[in-house]
Amino acid sequence: MRDAEQGVNLSDFDQLRRLRVAAVSGQLPADLGRWAVEFIGRELPRRRRERDQLLRKAASFISGSNWRKARVVHGLMAAITEATQLPECLPYDTPTRWILEAAHADPRTPLSFRQVLRLLADE
């Protein structure tokens, strides 16, 4: 994104720093607002795709039909959402590991059972 006042291209990292300052000062420059909308519009679909891939990976460790996999994944997601303390490191061969990764990729991960089932059916 090009900063109109400075005439230079700023990285996303630099723009995020500016956004933090704007949040504290209460003053949001127009170019920064445009960058934030563009950034969120670009980042959100990528994070959702990443989340969906991670949830499919979690389901791959569960045997049975898509219905059963969706039930288990949804139940684990609920348990993770309700947990007050989660382990920092989990083995790579557990569904919980990949569900936790999905929660990091998209913090709004909690999906309904039907959404999880649809996600697994779309493979």
Domain ranges of the chain: 2-121
Opening angle at CA 27, ends 24 and 30, nearest 5: 130
- Label residue 89 by pLDDT band (50, 70, 90): low
- pTM (whole model) above 0.75: no
- State the pLDDT confidence band at 2, using cuts at 50, 70 and 90: very low
CA 45, CA 86: separation in Å to the nearest integer? Answer: 26
Q: Is the pLDDT of residue 62 over 80?
A: yes
Alpha helices by DSSP H, listed for the chain, are 12-25, 30-60, 66-82, 95-105, 113-121
For residue 6, pLDDT over 70 is answered with no
Task: Tally Cβ neighbours within 10 Å of residue 52.
Answer: 21
